[in-house]
Amino acid sequence: EYYSLYNGERIPLSEKHKAGGNLCTTNPEVIRTCADFAIDWFDKNPDGIVVPMWPADGAVKWCECENCMKLGGINFASGEKGSMSRRMVVFCNAVAKLVAEKHPDKYILLPVYANYIHPVDIPLEKNIFLQFCLHGDYAHKIDQGKVNEKERKWLDQWATLAAGRMGVWEYFLIGDIFDNKESPGYLPVIYRTVGTIKYLKDKGVNWYFTQANPYRQWKQIGRAS
């Protein structure tokens, strides 16, 4: 009962995670277990600041029990119909409350990513950090270009909930992930990043991290936008 109920069957996360299921995020024992994990980690690592509550990556199956379905989200549906954001916020809020009882000065990290990137209107507990995963346009700063419009709106909405307690993980320089005419260039990425970081800072984003792939994936590295 800790695992996702999918098509009437409880399925654990498999070694090949895309074939498995997530946890049942409304199960009180799952919430307690996750909170106990964070509390134990903080007990053993008193200098630590934050513990993430991050589901497995990939197209895992989310729970279809009655309580989970009340929070919305349909497996493998596109757009907001498939959004699991409300589930993630409710789950992380519940974990954060329990952790705050023992460690009021520590934080739980709420990821905003994949099919839980759509903004919701639920207030966040004060001991939650939010990490927005940005898939942007490498040729333009975040407030420029059509590719960035949707991501920017989402980021702005989340920032109203977590200003000052928000970070961005940007999928940066991944190579040929965008092949449309709105994002043809890979350089000068440094100048573009300066503008993006300034925008994020103005929105109350205090942490910024980038993920880059190897040089060999830069198929058009010699091109400028």
Check: CB of residue 192 under 8 Å from CB of residue 141. Answer: yes
Report d(CA 184, CA 178) in Å as an integer: 8
Residue 86 has pLDDT above 90, yes or no: yes
Q: Is the pTM of this model over 0.95?
A: no
Q: What is the pLDDT of residues 41-66, one digit of tens each?
A: 999 999 999 999 999 887 789 999 99
The pLDDT, as a whole number, for residue 14 is: 74
Cis ω for the linkage preceding 188 (within 30 of 0): yes
**Interval 151-192: pLDDT, tens:** 999 999 999 999 899 999 988 755 444 444 444 445 567 778
Q: CA 217 to CA 208: how far, in whole Å?
A: 23
9: confidence class by pLDDT, cuts 50, 70, 90: very high
